[in-house]
Structure 1
Amino acid sequence: MAHFRISSLDCARDLSALKAYVAVLVASLVLSGCGVMNQMIYKTTGDVMQGFSRDHTVPYLMKSGDLAMGCAMSEATAPLLMSFGRVTSEPDQLAVMLYLSAGGCAEEEAREHELAGLAAMNALNANEAEDAMIRQKRAYMLASARYFKAWKHHNAFYGEPGNGECPGFDDDMDEFIYMAGLLSGLQALNAQIQSTSSIGVPANIGSIVARATSCLENDKWWGAPMALRATVWAMIPGAQPQGENAFERLEIADKQGEEAGVRLPHVFHAIAAINKGDQDMVKDVIREHAQSLDEKPADEEWRFVDAMATNMMVAISDRLWVENTGHRTPLGQLGTFWDDQQEEVETMNLDDLL
């Protein structure tokens, strides 16, 4: 009969191995628990950040007239806020505002390059003009890509627009973001055209946006939905319904925007006039905008939108001024032009008094 002996050394070794195994098991459970805990913390933080940004940051920004600060905020915080989509639901609604604003930053840069190019052409500096135009197109490509992201997130949150069905809006901010998403789609197409390159923005976005504006209350939103729709009618051949007149609609929308203190319809009117090639109409819209600024303060809740409209009107005015004089609109003279007739000032001959 075989005899087995278990030495004290063997027991010690077995006990040590058991302890090591238990230690590894406990550590793995703890680390696993930490991972789960971290995921819960990240998700909660993401949900809170999304909710706070939508309910407080965006409304706060809309009350501000500081476009540069809004631009800097969107470019700086978009990666952070959008990264929460990795641990919780995708922040589609917030993304509409972030990428629309960031797209505006890139478009502002494109306009600056355009002015530099026009000034160089005015000075007969061909190389500088060409370089500025190349930078302009690059900036428009970036703007188009950002606007298109806003459009995609808009569709992910609200559903495909222009299909005859309107989403149910929870509150005014919900409805405003829907309108902002429609604007981003139109801007994506416009920026793509300006860049002279394609990043995949569908050419039919304009007609889709025009149909989708029917989901918005025109009177409530300063005439902007009708102005947006009329602009599409004016720019796309065959889009205008029978019996409608795009420019009459735009004039009506202008008055609504002026009375509300949110002059966004002026921008659409000017864009439609530029597309038509009617410089006199463009000038008239700029004059009307400048006069309205003196007569009606911006709506306190939507200062940012009104400031954005004024910024666009200044940009359009600057383009006209640089093309014709080599410099921008003189400070404090928005609504005036280089070829305005100067009022004759009656002069007195002092010699007659002697």
Structure 2
Amino acid sequence: MGSLSMKKMLRHSRLALVGGAILALQGCGVIYKSTGDILISFGRSEMLPYMMTYNDVRMACVTGEAQTPLLMSFERVGSHPEKLGAMVFTTAATCAEQIALDSELRYMRAVKDGRVNEAQDARIEQKRWSAVAAQRQYTAYQNMMEAFGEQKEGECPKLKSDFDEMVWLVGNISGVQSLLNDGNADGAVGIPRDIAAKVERNMKCLDNDQWWGVPRGVRAAVWNLLPMLAPPNADAWAELEASAKKGFDSGIRLGSALYAMSAFSKGDDERLRKAIRDYAANDQNLDADYAMLDAIAGFIITGISDREWTENTGKRTPIGGLGTFWDDAAKSGPAVDINDLL
């Protein structure tokens, strides 16, 4: 009897231990979810607005790279970081885009100097990092779509706050950028080609005046990319110019970057130079609350300028030379001394 009683006691003890372990694990799950909810709430109300006041794109991209895995891991315990995910994957993508750009410039210099192996290696590196950027940007777009859902023609999501609208804006722009970077990577990621049409439609859900002319600017950029999506009698360039001007007036120059990107993709040198000159000339009275978005516009503009300078001179845009071009002196007299800029 004593032996049987002892076995029963041991069995009950084991059951109690197992039950206690299960309860402890459930408790951990509750704690993890609470931690995730607090982190996401803090990120939305404090961290993101604070980061938006920075004009250091490199800091934003490194923050995105470092913090995104931690933030997104809270999905596994029931938190919902999708909206913030759209933002941090977007900023993380700029790191990959910068490396891809540096590789592209290296490729241009190698071609100019006749270094075949160097050129081939640089092109391979550019495509690899373009693929990384495309994947991050597409993940940003997917997070946005998970947060708000797929919208049919004529429908819009319930955007309850400025934060929701910003996520919708940034996530959709990332969708278009993912398509462009995937093209640079020879389609290595396999971004769906219909994403451009969806973004063009989604931009109708935002107030153009509130968001610095960017919604119509994005739509016009898509029309230049895919003319079949343009409404009858649409004038993409007029829309892009209006978007750039509205950006200058409001202190957020994203519209100017869209204009420059469209001109660059179409090989329109006159409009491209105008876009870069106008961006550089309108650097006063910027909106400090959204300095990061304006800085990202500058990152895009400077990258395009660097490509143009490197193709023609073998060097990037000189320090203090954004908005100038290597042949300005030849066209209009000694307005620019390249040696002084260098």
Could you say whether these structures have the same fold, taking a TM-score greater than 0.5 normalized by the shorter chain as the test? yes
Match of 1:222 among 198, 201, 212: 212
- The 8 Å contact of residues 140 and 194 in structure 1, kept in 2 or not, is answered as yes
What's the secondary structure of 2:228's corresponding residue? coil
Tell which deviates more after alignment, 46-55 or 318-327.
46-55
Question: What is residue 156 of structure 1 aligned with on the other side?
Answer: 146
CA distance in 2 between counterparts of 1:154 and 1:121 reads 40
- The 8 Å contact of residues 117 and 128 in structure 1, kept in 2 or not, is answered as yes
Q: Percent identity?
A: 37
Question: What is residue 314 of structure 2 aligned with on the other side?
Answer: 326
Q: How do 1:92-111 and structure 2 match up within 5 A?
A: 92-111=82-101
What's the secondary structure of 1:97's corresponding residue? helix
What's the secondary structure of 2:265's corresponding residue? helix
Deviation, 1:199, is 2.1
Unaligned runs of 5+ in 2: 336-342
Question: What is residue 350 of structure 1 aligned with on the other side?
Answer: none
- The 8 Å contact of residues 33 and 74 in structure 2, kept in 1 or not, is answered as yes
Question: What is residue 277 of structure 2 aligned with on the other side?
Answer: 287
Match of 2:304 among 310, 316, 322: 316
Equivalent residues, number: 333
Deviation, 1:86, is 0.5
**Between Structure 1 and Structure 2, whose CA radius of gyration is higher?**
1
Q: TM-score normalised to the size of structure 1? A: 0.91
Question: What is residue 233 of structure 1 aligned with on the other side?
Answer: 223
- The 8 Å contact of residues 162 and 212 in structure 1, kept in 2 or not, is answered as no
Deviation, 1:83, is 0.7
Match of 1:23 among 9, 13, 30: 13
Deviation, 1:237, is 2.7
Letter paired with 1:196:
D
CA distance in 2 between counterparts of 1:113 and 1:100 reads 20
Question: What is residue 287 of structure 2 aligned with on the other side?
Answer: 299
CA distance in 1 between counterparts of 2:68 and 2:247 reads 30
CA RMSD of aligned residues (A): 1.5
- The 8 Å contact of residues 161 and 209 in structure 1, kept in 2 or not, is answered as no
Matched, 1:117 2:107: yes
- The 8 Å contact of residues 96 and 153 in structure 1, kept in 2 or not, is answered as yes
Unaligned runs of 5+ in 1: 1-10, 346-354
What's the secondary structure of 1:222's corresponding residue? coil
- The 8 Å contact of residues 162 and 208 in structure 1, kept in 2 or not, is answered as no
Question: What is residue 169 of structure 1 aligned with on the other side?
Answer: 159
Matched, 1:61 2:33: no
Q: TM-score normalised to the size of structure 2? A: 0.94
CA distance in 2 between counterparts of 1:344 and 1:140 reads 39
Letter paired with 2:295:
A
Question: What is residue 3 of structure 1 aligned with on the other side?
Answer: none
Question: What is residue 201 of structure 1 aligned with on the other side?
Answer: 191
- The 8 Å contact of residues 74 and 102 in structure 1, kept in 2 or not, is answered as yes
Deviation, 1:131, is 0.4
CA distance in 2 between counterparts of 1:273 and 1:79 reads 36
